[in-house]
Structure 1
Amino acid sequence: METSPTSRCPRLHSQAKEIIYNVNRYFLDEKANGAPMLPTTQALARTAKATKVSKRTVRRICSKANQEWWSEAEHKKPIFHSPTKTQPTTVTNFDDFEKCVLRRTVLEFYERNEIPTLYKVTEELRDKISYNGSTESLRRVLLQIGFRFSHVDGRKFLMERSDVAVARTKFLREMRQVRESFENFVFLDETWVNQNYTVAKCWTDMASKQATGVKPPTGKGNRLIILHAGTKEGFVKNAELFFQAKNDGDYHNQMNAAVFEQWFKTQLLPNIAPKSVIVMDNASYHSTVLEKNPTSSWRKEAIKDWLIKNGAHPRDDMLKVELYDLAKKMCNGKKTYVIDTLASEAGHKVVRLPPYHCQYNPIELIWAQVKTYISKKNTFKVAELKHLVKEALSTVTAENWKQAIKHTEKLQEQDAKQDVAVERFIESFVINIEDSSDEESSD
């Protein structure tokens, strides 16, 4: 908030105007209700509800005002400061956990019957994960994980992409169905550990200002890729695979379909229980297509051969556009993957995670446990790191796996309920916007 040199009236920024608008709407709702929306004894909750700011943020602001910023010279009026402008302008390196928190934060707004805006989401993330980036950085991350911005009544708010929401809904429904028919579930994934991987913090000698213990080398060093799978009974026996790879970016670039398929056939399938459900993500090397579907770039004869091979009987006088249209209807966007076929032939079923939802895979929690163990004991030598990985894997118990699986199942149940609440609010919100336009104008 700034003060104009020609007037004592403060010049309000857009965020302050939005809060004033929210408070005014809250009072109007109370007027229409004929009584307070919340008991007058709940000052914190009433403030949060009126301003549409989280109770945690209200508590933090008021606490700082009471404890730190009182000014006797201004008759005990609290002094507030805008966030420092020295914060990083680009913070987009969210890990999987932070992306999960971000997604759930946005959708929780709909559960509370509030419209998620970029500013509101940013403020909540500052409390939840100490996010110190700009709103523009957060905008980029939101777009990366499947959100988009929509305009309603002149205001911009966040909406999850329909394809992401549909994929999640299908996955949750499929998991509910397979739990009725299958008892054995296998969860697989890859991760990586750098040679110089270590803890982020350690004790420091205040006299010498130096960290005690071994000082890690500079740089990340070589990279070790780990591929494994687990069940409620623990890691699948004889299924571990790890190898040294070049440190040239994302570890997914080090894997390929040939390595994964060989591991899948020789180390996973022979060692899992009959009639298992295998849960995995949609990494490219997990998703090699058994037979490609026709595209518009195919030659006419190639499309015709594909149709005949798949049981169709195209007429000789059909044009290429007709053949292609018939092929699209036959495949209906479905793809047959090599891995799915291998699993089906062995009596198993593959279920693929929806995009941007790695939190549904319990092995992610197991990897966090393994990496924590490695970070505390790493000696920064590649030869010893391989032994340390085996040692870390051996510390994971069946109980750890059961707790991780229970946690992800709970998340899935919560998200299924959340999707219903989100849909209900969005539909009512759109209806209210359309039906109350005259009332908004008169107010």
Structure 2
Amino acid sequence: MAMQVSERTVFRVHRQVNIEGDVHSPAKKDKKSGSGPAQQETDNFQEGVIRRRIHRFYTDRELPTMDKLILALQQDIDYSYSKQTLLKTVKKMGFKYTTRNKKTALYEQHRIIAARHHYLRQIEKYRDEGRSIVYLDETWFNAHHILERCWTDYDGKGGLRVPSGKGGKLIILHAGWKEGWISNADLVFRGKKGTGDYHQEMSTAHFMEWFRERLIPNLPATSVIVLDNAKYHNSVVEKIPTKRSTKKDMIQYLDSHEIPYDKKLLKAETFMLIKARNPASQYLTDVFANLHSHDVLRLPVRHCELNPIELIWAQVKGYAASHNKDFTMVGIEPLAREGITQVTAEK
């Protein structure tokens, strides 16, 4: 499933196959005034480009200021968002703007660096062991999905007439590895909610049904399943109380694990008993995968660029966009399936 193309080419394809509604969140009003321009948000793919560009500054032994960063992004990928939007984005990605040697620059938080290096060490370890590494992900697009640009007359005439709005939503869930897609693991279904992204359409029950019945039975032996941190990927077997939990929940946890305690303890003291035990969360995906001799490896938060299936989605969506003619769910669904079949281990 490797694609021998440059990052710039991939980014341009990604922009081409995503219409405005696919990239940006719905318009929001300014909370203070109740009016104002819509707030802009970058998508996961763009965040990967931003992260690599900041790291490139350090590789070139240059401090990445906001002015330098936005100028570089404008030159590299035609970045069109405001400086304020970019600042909010890099903060969400785990960077902080600090002063070093009387100069302000962007620095990545240590926890983000540690999480990324842990992932890279684990993936290298599994590859050295000869394990089959399987990447899974979800994506979505609308019935009115079409290429942003096409040839027209000088007067602007020509081209297909696209209905207003976005149209219905189609969600795709699939998994692939170095040999191509995992057989019979594709899930394509129509969304029911008119707004929001595909994460709102997927529930833990829906995802785990696919995980158990479509993915696990078709995996190569002792596979490593790479997934992101979507909420339904991280559903736990048992919820561990936090300091914000009620004392009743804490007591129930202690009782279920036969941990002795004094009923006269305050809530804070009760929580310290749980914390001292240092319990680790167990995820449903991990437990079920382990039962079948597979392992689960999670991507660092907001690091979708480490999941190669993101490049494949651009290829699938590009195929559907370039062949979409009637802009209906009946028409777009088979195009999505055809787009999936166009992806092979070589392409």
Same-fold status (TM-score > 0.5): yes
- Alignment partners' CA distance in 1, 2:120 and 2:231: 22
Aligned to 1:115: 63
- Alignment partners' CA distance in 2, 1:90 and 1:243: 30
Distance 1:200 1:300, change over 3 A: closer
Amino acid corresponding to residue 303 of structure 2 in structure 1:
H
Distance 1:180 1:313, change over 3 A: farther
Q: CA RMSD in A?
A: 2.2
Aligned to 2:44: 96
- Alignment partners' CA distance in 2, 1:122 and 1:299: 46
- Alignment partners' CA distance in 1, 2:76 and 2:225: 33
Is 1:278 matched with 2:225? yes
- Alignment partners' CA distance in 2, 1:223 and 1:325: 46
Structure 2 residue matching 1:133: 3-state secondary structure = coil
1:22-80 CA distance string (max 9 Å, x none): xxxxxxxxxxxxxxxxxxxxxxxxxxxxxxxxxxxxxxxxxxxxxxxxxxxxxxxxxxx
- Alignment partners' CA distance in 2, 1:158 and 1:203: 41
Amino acid corresponding to residue 346 of structure 1 in structure 2:
H
Report the alpha carbon displacement of residue 295 of structure 1 after superposing the two structures with TM: 2.2
The percentage of aligned residue pairs carrying the same residue is: 38
Aligned to 2:277: 330
Which residue, out of 160, 170, 192, partners 1:224? 170
- Alignment partners' CA distance in 2, 1:300 and 1:126: 52
Which residue, out of 192, 202, 218, partners 2:140? 192
Q: Is the 2:41–2:85 Cα contact (8 Å) retained in structure 1?
A: no
1:294-333 CA distance string (max 9 Å, x none): 223445565355345446444677654333213113235x
Equivalences for residues 385-396 of structure 1 within 5 A:
385-396=332-343
Aligned to 1:348: 294
> How many equivalent pairs are there?
309
Which residue, out of 312, 316, 321, partners 1:366? 312
Q: Is the 1:226–1:241 Cα contact (8 Å) retained in structure 2?
A: yes
Aligned to 2:200: 253
- Alignment partners' CA distance in 2, 1:288 and 1:355: 16
1:263-288 CA distance string (max 9 Å, x none): 11111111111211000000011111
More helix by share: 1
Q: Is the 1:91–1:138 Cα contact (8 Å) retained in structure 2?
A: no
- Alignment partners' CA distance in 2, 1:289 and 1:160: 29
Which residue, out of 136, 140, 146, partners 2:94? 146
Distance 1:137 1:299, change over 3 A: closer
Q: Is the 1:295–1:324 Cα contact (8 Å) retained in structure 2?
A: yes
Aligned to 2:321: 375
Report the alpha carbon displacement of residue 131 of structure 1 after superposing the two structures with TM: 2.0
- Which 5+ residue runs of structure 1 have no aligned equivalent? 1-88, 401-443
Report the alpha carbon displacement of residue 90 of structure 1 after superposing the two structures with TM: 7.8
1:85-124 CA distance string (max 9 Å, x none): xxxx988432333211111111222222221111111111
Aligned to 2:212: 265
- Alignment partners' CA distance in 1, 2:200 and 2:39: 23
- Which 5+ residue runs of structure 2 have no aligned equivalent? 1-36
Which residue, out of 50, 70, 79, partners 1:131? 79
Structure 2 residue matching 1:242: 3-state secondary structure = strand
- Alignment partners' CA distance in 2, 1:185 and 1:277: 5
Is 1:159 matched with 2:159? no
1:398-426 CA distance string (max 9 Å, x none): 223xxxxxxxxxxxxxxxxxxxxxxxxxx
Which residue, out of 241, 244, 250, partners 1:303? 250
Structure 2 residue matching 1:373: 3-state secondary structure = helix
Structure 2 residue matching 1:260: 3-state secondary structure = helix
Q: TM-score, normalised by structure 1?
A: 0.65
Q: Is the 1:91–1:133 Cα contact (8 Å) retained in structure 2?
A: no
Structure 2 residue matching 1:149: 3-state secondary structure = strand
Amino acid corresponding to residue 111 of structure 1 in structure 2:
T
Aligned to 1:173: 121
Amino acid corresponding to residue 164 of structure 2 in structure 1:
T
1:211-268 CA distance string (max 9 Å, x none): 24x3222221001001111111211111111111133121211111111011111111
- Alignment partners' CA distance in 2, 1:358 and 1:253: 18
- Alignment partners' CA distance in 2, 1:391 and 1:96: 25
